[in-house]
Amino acid sequence: MMRRIELKPTEPFRKELIDRTGAFDARALKAATDIVADVRERGDDALRELTQRFDGVSIEAFALPKSALDAAMDQVDEETLEALRHAAAQIRDFHERQVTQSWLFAREDGAIVGAKVTPLDSVGIYVPGGRALYPSTVLMNAIPASVAGVERIACVTPPQHDGTVDAAILAACKLAGVTEVYTVGGAQAVAALAYGTQSIRPVDKITGPGNAYVAAAKKVVSGDVGIDMIAGPSEVCVVADSSADPSLVAIDLMAQAEHDPMAACYLVCPSGAYADEVEHAVEEHLAHSPRADITRASLEDHGLIVIVDDVDQAMQAVDVIAPEHLELHMRDAMDHLGQIRNAGAIFLGPWTPEAVGDYVAGPNHTLPTGGTARFASPLSVDEFVKKSSIIQYSARALMNDSKSVMAIAMHEGLWAHAQSVALRMQAASEEAERAPVGAGWGATINEGGERAHG
């Protein structure tokens, strides 16, 4: 079923052995570019036509009233609502631990340097529709934004066939602090968030996953508006030793494969015989899966089994794959954590299926895909704030640094840079003697980080 590669002892796993698809293809990029341009030009009229064309739904007013979020709390069954509350509480607790504060540091010569942390004014969250509904995506994107202090959180999501939005998605919006919901999806929704229409105000940043056209649209608007990442198909890599239950390994691979026929699944294991056991278990599970066709397509087209000689070879393969999700079905899995450099989220031991990370564990499930875990991180509170550097010099501090500043400026051929220091140096000695340490013209920042005027 899955493609196999058997590595010789000490043979390194190479990137060329991975058959990865990108986040989108040239066709998706061309289509998204045209859609973005259309929405920028025609606004809501373009949204209505595109929603009719792609979703088969006629929408007159895209904004849902806030009362719809309140009503959804009564429309969702109690078991699902309680699960969403439980998930929201643990996601919020995790992300509150990520919050960073503004800070200042005063040097002995009177210079003050630091950083001012400011929440973004507004963010837009894309919540996919289509093959499945994702209230968990609302929680994972809106809660860190809310924790960061973002005041305006707008959610866009494709309409269902009857033009409504799933009640669980709306309930998640209510629990997570979403302030606006719009019934629109696809590349056109990304364009509306980026540039605004008659009924949708633009935002500062767009987060959340989507299909190839949504990913392409995020690339098109990036730079005019912030984005979290350009996410490709979902991925899992399971590293299993001989102690791992083949049935559990099989179902964990399938849990990723059932997302999308393009999802990529990797199994790193010690023998061909073990791989046979896992594939046999997959066939047994598929007989009961309502998403068997999607799952099988993913495993057959984008599945890979890597048979390794030892743990070191397995970990080297993991770092080359740099998976979105990594499961270690191994004895003493925690002992191997230090060997891993590249992974979006790491799940340790047989009792930690990737599904807990998708929903309730607390860490964010918006993760780097397509090998970008080599340089990218999960969505976090930091995505929803911006940091401004703070610099205030005293005359004495400027005297201390003046020679270095002027030397570098002159080396770079920037005369005015050097002169901006040299002119101040004419009065620096006198100023240094007269002014108290930390004093200076203009605004300063007091111990609480608030702005005060000197």
* Residue among 273, 284, 272 at smallest CA distance from 248: 284
Tens-place pLDDT, residues 141-198: 999 999 999 999 999 999 999 999 999 999 999 999 999 999 999 999 999 999 999 9
What crossing angle do the helices spanning 135-148 and 167-176 adopt, rounded to 10°? 10
Q: Is 100 left (phi over 0), alpha (psi -120 to 50) or beta?
A: beta
| CA–CA distance, 94 with 281 (Å, rounded to integer) | 35
SS3 308: coil
Among the ranges given (225-229, 240-244, 295-299, 430-434), the one the predictor scored with the smallest mean pLDDT? 430-434
The pLDDT of 381-397, averaged and rounded, is: 96
pLDDT of 428 above 70 = no
| CA–CA distance, 185 with 129 (Å, rounded to integer) | 8
The pLDDT of 67-78, averaged and rounded, is: 96
> What residues pair up with 384 in beta bridges, in sequence order?
none
| Complete DSSP assignment for 233-253 | S-EEEEEE-TTS-HHHHHHHH
The pLDDT of 303-316, averaged and rounded, is: 97
Q: Is the dihedral of CA 405, 410, 413, 417 positive or negative?
A: positive
pLDDT on residue 258: 95
How far from the centroid of its chain's Cα atoms is residue 94's Cα?
A: 15
pLDDT on residue 225: 98
* Residue among 147, 92, 150 at smallest CA distance from 119: 150
The length of the chain, given as a count of residues: 454
User: How far separated are the first and last CA of the chain, in Å rounded?
Assistant: 72
Most distant pair of Cα atoms in the chain: their distance: 86
The helix (run of H) or strand (run of E) holding residue 406 is helix 395-411
> What's the helix, strand, coil split of the chain in %, to 5?
45, 15, 35
pLDDT of 441 above 90 = no
pLDDT of 131 above 70 = no
| Residues annotated catalytic, as ranges | 324-325
The pLDDT of 419-430, averaged and rounded, is: 82
| CA–CA distance, 47 with 148 (Å, rounded to integer) | 31
Residue 386: Cβ-neighbour burial (10 angstroms; 0-12, 13-18, 19+):
middle
The pLDDT of 25-33, averaged and rounded, is: 92
Strand 345-348 to 303-307 pairing: unpaired
- What's the pTM value of the predicted model, to 2 decimals? 0.90
Check: CB of residue 106 under 8 Å from CB of residue 112.
yes
